[in-house]
Amino acid sequence: MSLKNIEDIAAYIVAGGKGILAADESNPTCGKRFDSIGVESTEENRRNYREMLFRSKGMKGNIGGVILFDETIRQSAEDGTLLRDLITSQDALPGIKVDKGLEPIDDCPGETVTVGLEGLDERLKEYSSMGAKFTKWRAVINIGDGIPTDKCIDANMQALADYAKCAQDNGMVPIVEPEVLMDGKHSIDDCYDATDRSLKSLFSHLDKKGVNIKGTILKPNMITSGKDSDVQASIDEVAKRTLECLIENVPSELPGIAFLSGGQSDVLATAHLDAMNKIGGFTWKLSFSYGRALQAAALQAWGGKPENVFISQDELSHRAEMNKLASLGEWEEELEER
């Protein structure tokens, strides 16, 4: 891999239909996932699970980058190989989640701002020395009665821009993730409005900070109905409205948009991505940065049992391959039948 700068790195991650495996769950989140399969969330079990994922055959050619949690970037596989080196052996790049979570915003009930700018430069220097090539920071936007407010959107987008500039100054690609949550009964129009406002603010702040858009990846939500809404938008409507919002707000020189799955089922997340790529008409690569939507079937198949490793790896490989096809607009539902 001859990657001379952040522009090369960003383009590599999403080249040829490849996407990102989000394996940066915090230990409490990983604990909830393990609870669902009756496995204790110990450091060793978390290591064994992620090692299994990173050794899957379907990583190669389908996954361009893996987002890691602080614990994981420091861990070694059972045979002593650093997990981050396992990732590079699969022709993928290791990345790292660098935000420090959410804090409530004063005078904004139900809204949060992502923190972690304090000490960020020092953390990035350490992660860069460990071989991390890209970084991730997640902002969270809720839809509800009178929210999101402009105050919440601007505070989060300014923090994303500050983080992105710091990452680029340290030679790493920033993934900027302004997630408008699916939680709630809101309509697809409400989601469109909140996402449109968030993206406008984000790219304004990135521009003011002098962030190199060609060395940046956007990780947005899709434009969907709220999870609890009585009216759920069709796959075609989600695809059309999402593209409409992105084309309106995202600079053409951005190399890639890697969607989060945001609680969608694994196949639905794939179907939405494929529908957008079949429509086409945009300059950026439209790809995926999925956590649950890549891992859910693999986690269930594994169940914490060593004898299930190969079955679990087959599940991850299948989902990675399906999402690569979706990123190329070449997925069909019958390909899911196995």
Boundaries of every domain in the chain: 6-326
DSSP reduced 3-state for 292: helix
| Average pLDDT across the chain, whole number | 97
Helix axes 188-209, 150-169, angle to 10 degrees: 40
Percent of the chain with pLDDT over 70: 100
Residue 160 has pLDDT above 80, yes or no: yes
Residue 263 has pLDDT above 70, yes or no: yes
Contact yes or no for 13/29 (Cβ under 8 A): no
Per-residue confidence (pLDDT) for residue 20, from 0 to 100: 98
Contact yes or no for 287/65 (Cβ under 8 A): no
| Residue 7 annotated to the active site | no
**Nearest residue to 228 (alpha-carbon basis) of 181, 184, 182:** 184
Q: Can the peptide bond before residue 148 be classed as cis, meaning omega within 30 degrees of 0?
A: yes
> Which contiguous run of DSSP H or E holds residue 23?
strand 19-23
State phi, psi for 328 to the nearest 5 degrees. Answer: -100, 0
Residue 36 has pLDDT above 70, yes or no: yes
**Nearest residue to 57 (alpha-carbon basis) of 22, 92, 16, 11:** 92
CA 266 from chain center: how many Å? 14
CA gap 281, 145 in Å, rounded: 35
The radius of gyration of the chain's CA atoms, rounded to the nearest angstrom, is 19
CA gap 235, 224 in Å, rounded: 9
6-326 is classed in which CATH architecture?
Alpha-Beta Barrel (3.20)
Tens digits of residue pLDDT in 285-320: 999 999 999 999 999 999 999 999 999 999 999 999
- Give the DSSP per-residue string, 155-218: HHHHHHHHHHHHHHHTT-EEEEEEEE---SS--HHHHHHHHHHHHHHHHHHHHHHT--GGG-EE
Tokens of 92: 């993928």
Residue 338 has pLDDT above 90, yes or no: no
Percent of the chain with pLDDT over 90: 99
CA gap 222, 140 in Å, rounded: 14
Per-residue confidence (pLDDT) for residue 1, from 0 to 100: 67
Non-local (6+) Cβ contacts of 201 within 8 A are 153, 154, 157
18, 97, 219, 285: the catalytic one is: 219
177, 179, 285, 315: the catalytic one is: 177
Residue 2 has pLDDT above 90, yes or no: no
CA gap 216, 213 in Å, rounded: 5
Task: Specify the amino acid at residue 309.
Answer: V
| Residue 332 annotated to the active site | no
Contact yes or no for 220/199 (Cβ under 8 A): yes
CA gap 75, 246 in Å, rounded: 37
Q: DSSP secondary-structure letter at 238?
A: H
Residue 34 has pLDDT above 90, yes or no: yes
